Amino acid sequence: MSSATKRIITAKVNGAELTLAIDNRMTLLQALRDAAGLTGTKEGCLTGDCGACSVLMNGRVVDSCLVMAAEAEDAELTTVEGLADGTHLHPLQQRFLERAALQCGICTPGLLVAAKSLLDRNPNPTDHEIRYWLAGNLCRCTGYKQIIEAVQDAATDMRAGK
């Protein structure tokens, strides 16, 4: 790539400061996957309609395919790779496994990030509130029922301090 379009950005990603060489034309999704090697966040549509690329940026769920990488300068980002605490899975991750809330798994990273964002704000959501919050994350395999159940289980865990 030509040097005219290159830039260095620094951001806090999953709690650690990362310095990345990016191209100005890169989206945050590309920067995470190709520059930082964090391939957990997935590409589904590149138009912000499927949510597979969801990450938390300064506390908000965003479709990283719609954010320019350069916008992430000084931002605080959480991706699926940052949900577990070392070897201790986040309750959402654990409950997704127990409830079989994933089949192919491609939507799972985005869903986990979006669900975490919900539970951070609303520790006791109704099923409808969960469905509403996750409506921006498409899943074509599961039909969503087991996902909703997993989020409820995780909410219960988190309210109990797990």
Partner 1 sequence: MEPFSHPNHGKYKVIGTRPIRHDGEDKVTGRALYGADVSFPDLLHGFVLRSPHAHARIRKLDTSKAEALPGVFAVTTAVDLPRLDDKIVSSGEGMENQKYLSDHILASDKALFIGHPIAAVAATDPWIAQEAVALIEVEYEVLDQVTDPDKAMADGAPLLHEKMTTTILGQKEAKPSNICNHTRFECGDLEAGFAEADLVFDREFRTRTVHQGYVEPHTATALARSDGQVTVWSSTQGPFRTREQVAAVLKRDLSKIRVIPMEIGGGFGGKIPVYLEPLAVLLSEKSGRPVKLVMSRADVFQASGPAPAAVSKLKLGFKSDGTITAGKVWMAYEAGAFPGTWGSTGALCVLAPYRVPHALVDVYDVLTNTPKVAAYRAPSSPQALFGVESIMDEAAQELGLDPIDLRLKNGAVEGDSRVDGQKWSRIGFLETLDAAKNSPHYKSPPPSGPNQARATSIGYWFNAGMQSSATVGINMDGTASVVTGSVDIGGSRASMAIMAAETLGLSAEEVRPVVGDTESIGHTDVTAGSRTTFATGYAVYMAATEALEKMRPRVAKLWDCPVEEVNFEEGAFRHAKGKHDPMTVREVAPKLPMTGGPVQGQSSVQPKQVGASFAVDIADIEVDPETGKVTILRYTVVQDVGTAIHPAYVEGQMIGGTVQGIGWALNEEYVRDEEGRMINTGFLDYRVPTALDAPDIETIMVEVPNPGHPYGVRGVGETTVVPPLSTLHNAIARATGVRIRNLPMSPPRVQAALAEQTARPVPASD
Binding site for partner 1 (CB under 8 A): 1, 23, 25, 33-34, 37-47, 49-50, 52, 79-81, 83-84, 89, 93, 96-100, 102-109, 112, 127, 130-132, 134-148
Nearest distance in Å: CB 57, partner 1: 17
Q: Give 152's contacts (C-beta < 8 A, 6+ positions apart).
A: 125, 127, 130
Q: Which is nearer to partner 1, 67 or 101 (CB)?
A: 101
Beta bridge partners of 78: 56
d(CA 69, CA 116): 23
8 Å CB contact between 90 and 82: no
8 Å CB contact between 125 and 118: yes
Q: Which is nearer to partner 1, 14 or 75 (CB)?
A: 14
Q: Which is nearer to partner 1, 75 or 107 (CB)?
A: 107
8 Å CB contact between 53 and 64: yes
8 Å CB contact between 112 and 83: yes
Nearest distance in Å: CB 4, partner 1: 12
Q: Which is nearer to partner 1, 74 or 141 (CB)?
A: 141
- How far is CA 81 from each of CA 39, 151, 156, rounded to the nearest angstrom? 9, 18, 23
Nearest distance in Å: CB 111, partner 1: 9
Nearest distance in Å: CB 34, partner 1: 8
Q: Which is nearer to partner 1, 68 or 84 (CB)?
A: 84
Nearest distance in Å: CB 159, partner 1: 21
